Amino acid sequence: MAELGFVGLGVMGSGVARRLLDAGHTVTVWNRTRAKADPLLDAGANWASSPREVAERSEIVFTMVTNTEAVRAVTEGPDGILAGLAPGKVYVDMSTASPATTRALAEQVAAAGAQMLDAPVSGSVSTLEEGKLSIMVGGDAETFERVEPVLEAIGPRVFYLGPNGAAVTMKIAINISLAVQMLAFSEGLLLAEKTGIARERAVEVMLASVIASPMVAYRAPFVLEQPDEAWFDCRMMQKDMNLALELGRELEVPLPTTAVTNELLTAANAMGIGDRDFAVLFDVLASMSGLKTEVVS
């Protein structure tokens, strides 16, 4: 069992930290809002006063925060993770951040004598709870082998992809399909509904068809009723879409469906529903079609 640290206790971060606790590891946590840590503290986690203290008390310290800026906020400065690292320690960032920032941060970690892995996940709250999450990893191969048993406590499918930045690039490549699939599903659903087929019935039929990918299977019900707490809100998704579009321009890869979907996420933000799960792409299209939904009436 390892001495682990975890910084960033959002919906997914809390779930990952919980799995590490359940596997028998000692877990020290920090979050900007302490109240989010309370369920984990009740389950046996330890509280630290800063990200630096988490790193100082851990062999392996994880972060799972919202974006590139948030990664910088918890790693830099006198109370940041970098200040608490020492030779032999490993820093694992599970956030979806800029690949260029990830590579630069890995150099800073190495300067402290430690090693860094980028290890974003693919899956949802439900796949995490079911133990079916997949994890992509970039960084030093020997460091990956050391951390792999810990990662397998989070999810059984762990893929090593190469140097730092490779895993977060793969995560961005995957995430653009999530939003694009949701948009295509919404288009088809609205076509069916406007011909007179009940929305609930159309969802049922579509989930029994060949289009029912795992993503569609767990998000289609959200067009009928949004979850109380967004699994992955529009602003978070748009962050990933913008990272993809930036990479596309850099690598000269056209991303037409990503660009269109990104504009509809902008519309969701403008409509005041950007804090909802990105399944509200359906509600944006429905509103444009003259239909009412639970979210937009």
DSSP label of 261: H
Q: How crowded is the C-beta side of 266, counted as CA atoms within 13 Å?
A: 8
Do both 156 and 175 map to the same domain? no
Q: Are residues 208 and 109 in the same domain?
A: no
90 and 175 in a single domain? The answer is no
Let me know if residue 294 belongs to a domain: no
Banded model confidence at residue 295, pLDDT cuts 50, 70, 90: confident
Residue 111 lies in a domain: yes
Based on the domain organization, do 111 and 134 belong to the same domain?
Answer: yes
**Angle 256-270/234-251 helices, nearest 10 degrees?**
150
What DSSP assignment string belongs to 231-260? SSBHHHHHHHHHHHHHHHHHHT---HHHHH
171 is catalytic: yes
The CATH code of the domain that includes 277 is: 1.10.1040.10
Q: Where is the domain boundary, 116, 142, 163?
A: 163
Residue 130 covered by a domain: yes
Whether residue 148 sits in one domain with residue 11: yes
The answer to whether 278 and 265 have CB atoms below 8 angstroms apart is yes
Same domain, residue pair 155 and 179: no
Q: Read off φ and ψ for residue 33, nearest 5 degrees.
A: -105, 110
pLDDT tens for each residue of 148-164 = 999 999 998 999 999 99
Please tell me whether residues 32 and 149 are part of one structural domain.
Answer: yes
Report the Cα 207 to chain-centroid distance in Å.
24
**How far is residue 40 CA from its own chain's centroid?**
19
Both 23 and 93 in a single domain? yes
User: Which tens digits make up the pLDDT trace of 127-137?
Assistant: 888 888 899 99
Residues 219-239 pLDDT 10s:
999 999 998 888 889 999 999
Question: Does the residue 297 lie in any domain?
Answer: no
Q: Give the domain extent around 128.
A: 3-163
Do the domain assignments include residue 39?
A: yes
In this prediction, residues 170-186 reach a mean pLDDT of 96
- Cα of 114 vs its chain's centroid, Å: 24
Res 132: pLDDT? 82
| DSSP class of 10 | S
139 plus 176 within the same structural domain:
no
- The residue from 133, 163, 193 where one domain ends is 163
Per-residue pLDDT at 46 exceeds 90: yes
pTM above 0.85, yes or no: yes
Residues 39 and 286: their CA atoms lie apart, in Å, by 38
The one catalytic residue in 89, 171, 194, 292 is: 171
Q: Are 266 and 174 part of one and the same domain?
A: yes
pLDDT at 124: 78
Same domain, 27 and 102: yes
| Mean predicted lDDT score pLDDT of the chain | 95
134 within a domain of the structure (yes/no): yes
Residue 177 sits in the same domain as residue 244: yes
pLDDT at 150: 96
Q: Is residue 199 part of a domain?
A: yes
**244, two tokens:** 């993809």
- Amino acid in the structure at residue 223: V
Res. 267: pLDDT tops 90: yes
Structurally, how many domains does the chain consist of? 2
